[in-house]
Amino acid sequence: MTKIYASAYIEIYSSNNILIQNWTTKPLNTSVFKNELKHFLDLFFKYKPKGLLWIQDNFDLEIPEEMYNWIEEHILVPQYKAGLRKLAFTVPKEQFAYLSIINSFNEVKSVLQPRYFICTEKALAFLHEKNLEENITETSLKIDHLNDKSKVSFDVEHRHLPQTIKYLKKLNKHLNFRVHNKQFFDLLTIREIEIIKLIGEGKDKTEIAKALFISKNTVITHRRNIIKKLNIKSQSDWKKYIDVFF
């Protein structure tokens, strides 16, 4: 691998007809980002690579929407017309930056649709494959158990990434809510758990009383105790506990 360009913000390497761009830890702004893309395009036409890899581990810029069309017209289309069909990205640390990268391709219906990878090695393996028509239709999932934790890694099709990230963010919120509130949920009695579950099913006091063979007043008393134990102050709080614990 040969370094062919370096600045305070990015290093570019050439390796087996692949150009590899790696952002440094120096913070980016829109003007710098645009200038670095111009430098990169000059190198692209000089080396005419068969594939490109952008290593986004340090990428921290939220690409502004007004740049999407500029990137498409001045960077991606020229590469596509020059014959580029393989483009890969690794996942950056900041999710907002990652989403802005995805949006910059999706919003303009880009001629180039990149693949995204969890590591550089997998991205390079994809770029070196001879089959340009590769079409992965399923998510590949791998789970590694490490002491008291598990590491989950996956490859997912570009078009499913926004939904996948949205789901993972929601899952993370649920896990955090569970960790911080399990001590309160554990205070509930079996009967109170039965009642909050029926509330989650949309049943009213009368329906709950009938289902559990108790009076409506008893349901009201249990509900009051649940509110006190879980510190429920709104309908949103009910929903959080029901979504996370049932």
Task: Yes or no: say if 97 and 90 are a contact pair by the CB < 8 Å rule.
Answer: no
Q: What is the four-CA torsion angle of 101, 104, 107, 113, rounded to 10 degrees?
A: -80
Q: Which residues are CB-neighbours of 36 under 8 A, at least 6 positions away? A: 7, 9, 10
- Residue 86 located in a structural domain: yes
**Residue 56: what pLDDT?**
81
**pLDDT tens-digit readout, 6-64:** 999 999 999 999 999 999 999 989 999 999 999 999 999 999 999 999 888 788 888 88
- Residue 18 located in a structural domain: yes
Are residue 176 and residue 203 in the same domain, yes or no? Answer: yes
The last residue of one of the domains, among 89, 123, 155, is 155
Q: Residue 87 belongs to a domain with what CATH number?
A: 3.30.750.24
Are residue 145 and residue 187 in the same domain, yes or no? Answer: no
Task: Yes or no: say if 14 and 22 are a contact pair by the CB < 8 Å rule.
Answer: no
Provide the pLDDT confidence category of residue 141 given band limits of 50, 70 and 90. low
Spell out a b/e string for 113-142, using b for 16 or more CB atoms within 10 Å of the CB, else e: ebbbbeeeebbbebbeeeeeeeeeeeeeee
**Residue 150: what pLDDT?**
66
Task: Yes or no: say if 91 and 98 are a contact pair by the CB < 8 Å rule.
Answer: yes
Are residue 31 and residue 52 in the same domain, yes or no? Answer: yes
Q: Domain range holding 19?
A: 2-131+140-155
Q: What's the CA gap between 4 and 26, in Å, rounded?
A: 19
Are residue 151 and residue 201 in the same domain, yes or no? Answer: no
**Residue 101: what pLDDT?**
66
Provide the pLDDT confidence category of residue 134 given band limits of 50, 70 and 90. very low
Are residue 151 and residue 230 in the same domain, yes or no? Answer: no
Query: Percent of the chain, pLDDT > 90?
Result: 45
Are residue 121 and residue 26 in the same domain, yes or no? Answer: yes
**pLDDT tens-digit readout, 219-239:** 999 999 999 999 999 988 999
Average pLDDT over residues 166-185: 87
Task: Yes or no: say if 152 and 118 are a contact pair by the CB < 8 Å rule.
Answer: no
Average pLDDT over residues 142-151: 67
Q: What's the CA gap between 129 and 86, in Å, rounded?
A: 10
Q: What's the CA gap between 63 and 32, in Å, rounded?
A: 12
Q: What's the CA gap between 206 and 219, in Å, rounded?
A: 9
**Residue 126: what pLDDT?**
79
Are residue 40 and residue 119 in the same domain, yes or no? Answer: yes
Are residue 178 and residue 109 in the same domain, yes or no? Answer: no
| Total number of domains in the chain | 2
Are residue 113 and residue 6 in the same domain, yes or no? Answer: yes
- Residue 163 located in a structural domain: no
Are residue 24 and residue 145 in the same domain, yes or no? Answer: yes
Instruction: Identify the helix (H) or strand (E) that includes residue 164.
Output: helix 161-185
**Residue 164: what pLDDT?**
77
Are residue 178 and residue 72 in the same domain, yes or no? Answer: no
- Residue 125 located in a structural domain: yes
